[in-house]
Chains A and B, each alone.
Chain A
Amino acid sequence: MGTNGNAVASAPVGNSTGAIPCALEVKNLRLTFPNGFHIFNGIDFSVNEGDKVAIIGRNGAGKSTLLRAALGMIPQSESDGEWLYGQQLHGIRQSARRKLLCQVGFVHQKHNLVPRATALTNVIHGAMVRHRPSCRLWSHVFTASKLRDEAMMWLERVGLGDRAMNNASALSGGQSQRVAIARALMQDPKLVIADEPVASLDPVAGEEIMSLFAELVSEQNATLIFVSHHLSHATSYSDRIIGVRDGRVDLDCLTGEKTLEELGDIYGDDDDDTN
């Protein structure tokens, strides 16, 4: 842990004063793993509605864990409050939290599609949030025409209209990630969280996917938080960059305030990690 384990970089755009509504806010986040390792020792973190935020940092720095903990998805985490669009996530029932989290669309590094379901069915699954009972969404075969058409529209938007009936297991890594993006957007989310969405793709495919992703999220007027190791992606597709190091926010700036070289310092050795 750095000299200031509780280090909090004040969010230059984020606030809790009410000027711009917060999409996600967490106060005094603390997390200790079962082996006794304190990964977070009091982090404050907020993202404003409409922000495009990139989170950068070394492997194991706590980037993904920070997002999961901020969303109350790690039971061991403690905080003085976690809010999603102004609604408290902390200390509420599991079912209520699940309902709140439906406003969040996730895109994971590993696309997490159902391998033996078609691309169309996978995208339709994204609508589970909005439709109860959801039994007609288990497979595209049972789904109402309106939702099928909507899912097809998203597949076309990600360039896979002609692969709708292919099983997810038959798609390439890039195609699978496109389907995962379509599925997340099918949720009609207010906040999209992408955890290293292009980490498993080659640079060209990664650039294509990231560009498409950012474009579609912008069109939906959704807030975007993405974790990336690509500094070029962070500078191209975000308007705010947060650097995480050793479980603390070590950098928080508007995009363009720092050069690539300065941003790269977040990956350097921790020079003040003496205790």
Chain B
Amino acid sequence: MTTLTSTTPSRYHSLNAFQFALAALAFGLVWTAFNGIDFSIDTILAAGPRVDRLLSQMWPLDFSSFGNLAKQLWITFLMAICGTTMGIIISLPLVLFAAKNLTPHPIVRFAVRGFISFCRTVPDLIWALIFVIVVGLGPVAGALAIMMDSIGFLGKFFSEASEEQDMGPQEACKAMGGTNLDVAMAVVLPSALPSFISDALFATEKAVRASVILGLVGAGGIGIELKVAMDLFQYEKAALIILMIFVLVVCVEQVSNRLRASIIGGN
């Protein structure tokens, strides 16, 4: 056996003061969180019988207004598609200013990044409330809310996908006299396209889920039907709506997953 000339490193190393303080802080935060909301196992256990009662009230499903619900679900889906499409169309040019490797100036990048962050940090429900006031009740307000949310999501992910691309071809393009726009369109876009499509599909899935909720504040779609059914204790109808939403979300996710797999697989 060969004699080691250096010491084998130990498996563990002790925390330094900063790491210890950080760990203590994290633990304290979690503890405060559970205490702050009066979380207790008793509350969860007491909910058992109520869940049982609710489920029994939800069955059998009420199919009497299935046609109208299907139409509202279709509108919900279209609202998501419209909002995401507008989000994609606006996000793509923003990448030219927000991505580090494409921006004409750091100040421009800072400003555009700020706008994208703003779109992302304001919750879609708040956007929906604003657009309901601005354009009135209905799916257009919902689509606009989804658009703002998609800009926040896609602007960030498109920019990051652009920044992750190999710099070699980009420098080669610049060396051949290419402008920033040439680099973006001839080099970055084809290279990052699979990521862009994958992100856009995620945004669509997210938008479909969000579009259901937006109806609660009057932004169109099936959400308002769900709210009314719950408010009127029509749990059989509410259960059907939940089931329909579930089927829609699962279908969109499945199609999205298959498309993503084929794109990432390079087909």
Determine if chain A interacts with chain B.
yes
Tell me whether A129 and B185 are in contact (CB under 8 A).
no
Tell me whether B177 and A114 are in contact (CB under 8 A).
no
Tell me whether A98 and B174 are in contact (CB under 8 A).
yes
Q: Which of A95-110 contact B (CB under 8 A)?
A: 98-99, 101-102, 104, 106, 108, 110
For the complex, give the distance between the alpha carbons of A139 and B168 in Å.
19
B47 beta carbon closer than 8 Å to chain A: no
Q: Mark A121-139, 1 if CB is under 8 A from B, else 0.
A: 1000110110000110111
For the complex, give the distance between the alpha carbons of A102 and B190 in Å.
23
Chain B interface mostly: helix
- Looking at the assembled complex, report how far the CB atom of A184 sits from the nearest CB atom of chain B, in whole angstroms: 9
Q: Mark B151-181, 1 if CB is under 8 A from A, else 0.
A: 0000000000000001011011111111101
Tell me whether B186 and A137 are in contact (CB under 8 A).
yes
Beyond the given A134-B186, A135-B182, A138-B185, please list 9 additional residue pairs across the A-B interface where CB-CB is below 8 A.
Answer: A99-B177, A101-B177, A108-B172, A125-B173, A125-B178, A126-B176, A128-B176, A134-B177, A138-B186
A-side residues, CB < 8 A to B, are 98-99, 101-102, 104, 106, 108, 110, 112-117, 121, 125-126, 128-129, 134-135, 137-139, 183, 187
Tell me whether A102 and B186 are in contact (CB under 8 A).
no
* Nearest A-chain residue to B172, judged by Cβ: A112
Tell me whether B168 and A134 are in contact (CB under 8 A).
no
Q: How large is the interface on B (under 10, 10 to 19, 20 to 34, 35 or more residues)?
A: 20 to 34
For the complex, give the distance between the alpha carbons of A98 and B185 in Å.
19
For the complex, give the distance between the alpha carbons of A108 and B174 in Å.
14
Q: Which of B174-211 contact A (CB under 8 A)?
A: 174-179, 181-182, 185-187, 190-191, 193-194
* Nearest B-chain residue to A103, judged by Cβ: B177
Tell me whether A139 and B186 are in contact (CB under 8 A).
yes
Given the known inter-chain contacts A104-B175, A126-B176, A128-B177, please indicate yes or no for A112 contacting B168, CB distance below 8 A: yes
Tell me whether B191 and A129 are in contact (CB under 8 A).
no
Tell me whether A112 and B169 are in contact (CB under 8 A).
yes
- Looking at the assembled complex, report how far the CB atom of A141 sits from the nearest CB atom of chain B, in whole angstroms: 11
For the complex, give the distance between the alpha carbons of A138 and B176 in Å.
13
Residues of the B chain whose Cβ atoms lie less than 8 Å from the Cβ of A106:
172, 175
Tell me whether B168 and A108 are in contact (CB under 8 A).
yes
* Nearest B-chain residue to A187, judged by Cβ: B176
- 5 closest residue pairs by CB, A with B: A112-B172, A112-B168, A129-B177, A138-B186, A102-B177
Tell me whether B178 and A116 are in contact (CB under 8 A).
no
* Nearest A-chain residue to B176, judged by Cβ: A128
- Looking at the assembled complex, report how far the CB atom of B165 sits from the nearest CB atom of chain A, in whole angstroms: 9
Tell me whether B191 and A98 are in contact (CB under 8 A).
no
For the complex, give the distance between the alpha carbons of A139 and B189 in Å.
11
Tell me whether B168 and A128 are in contact (CB under 8 A).
no
For the complex, give the distance between the alpha carbons of A135 and B186 in Å.
8
For the complex, give the distance between the alpha carbons of A235 and B258 in Å.
55
Tell me whether B176 and A112 are in contact (CB under 8 A).
no
Tell me whether B182 and A138 are in contact (CB under 8 A).
yes
Tell me whether B173 and A116 are in contact (CB under 8 A).
no
Tell me whether A116 and B177 are in contact (CB under 8 A).
no
Residues of the B chain whose Cβ atoms lie less than 8 Å from the Cβ of A187:
176
Tell me whether B190 and A114 are in contact (CB under 8 A).
yes
For the complex, give the distance between the alpha carbons of A135 and B178 in Å.
10
Residues of the A chain whose Cβ atoms lie less than 8 Å from the Cβ of B194:
116
Given the known inter-chain contacts A112-B172, A114-B186, A128-B173, please indicate yes or no for A134 contacting B191, CB distance below 8 A: no
Residues of the A chain whose Cβ atoms lie less than 8 Å from the Cβ of B175:
101, 104, 106
For the complex, give the distance between the alpha carbons of A102 and B177 in Å.
6
For the complex, give the distance between the alpha carbons of A115 and B172 in Å.
13
Which of B171, B172, B176, B185 has the most chain A CB atoms closer than 10 A to its own CB? B176
Residues of the B chain whose Cβ atoms lie less than 8 Å from the Cβ of A125:
173, 176, 178, 186
Residues of the A chain whose Cβ atoms lie less than 8 Å from the Cβ of B181:
135
For the complex, give the distance between the alpha carbons of A114 and B171 in Å.
11
- Looking at the assembled complex, report how far the CB atom of B74 sits from the nearest CB atom of chain A, in whole angstroms: 35
For the complex, give the distance between the alpha carbons of A137 and B176 in Å.
12
